[in-house]
Amino acid sequence: MDQLSWITVRTPLPTGPMRLAVTSQGVATVAYAGESVAGQQVGAPVCTDERRIAVVNDRLAEYFAGERRELGLPIDWRFAAGPHRTVLQRLLADVGFGRTITYGELAARSGVFDDITEPGTAARTVGQMMGANPLALLVPCHRVVAANGLGGFGGGPHGIETKKWLLTLEGVLPPTLDWNGPTG
């Protein structure tokens, strides 16, 4: 398995910069500022591949500027396996820019929880899976919401603010007067 190297990307998010670990296969994990990832030291070693750095920076800058709806970066799924990976791949395939899905709907679509009969268990488990999403933003867990509201979000101390910012960027939520996203 090839080694991770890290790219730090400036963002307008309430969390500040994001750090993405890349390999020859693609992006393996993403961390919001202040998060730890899969026991890895976030940010070390630093990626030195100028082409890879440019692609990651350009794609994220275009997304945050409202000019790109899909990041289109290759994904290295090494930190997601089994049912977790199945649910994340279903989310990526089914829920595009500007759309949301509830935890329960994603559980049902994934097929992972077909044998579970206890009400709410599958939805809660999907919520936990979204909180443990190693590929935040690339696999858009911010688009998974509770049946009665936004639900939770990782991303450190500014998690819910970040989820609201991303959903506002994508047109799901209306902008507030203090929103600092693209204007057009």
Which residues are marked as active site? 141
Alpha helices in 11-149 (DSSP H): 50-64, 82-94, 103-110, 121-131
* Distance of alpha carbon 1 from the chain centroid: 23
Per the CB < 8 A criterion, the answer to whether 28 and 79 are in contact is yes
Quote the CA–CA distance of 178 and 102 in Å, as a whole number.
27
Quote the CA–CA distance of 49 and 46 in Å, as a whole number.
9
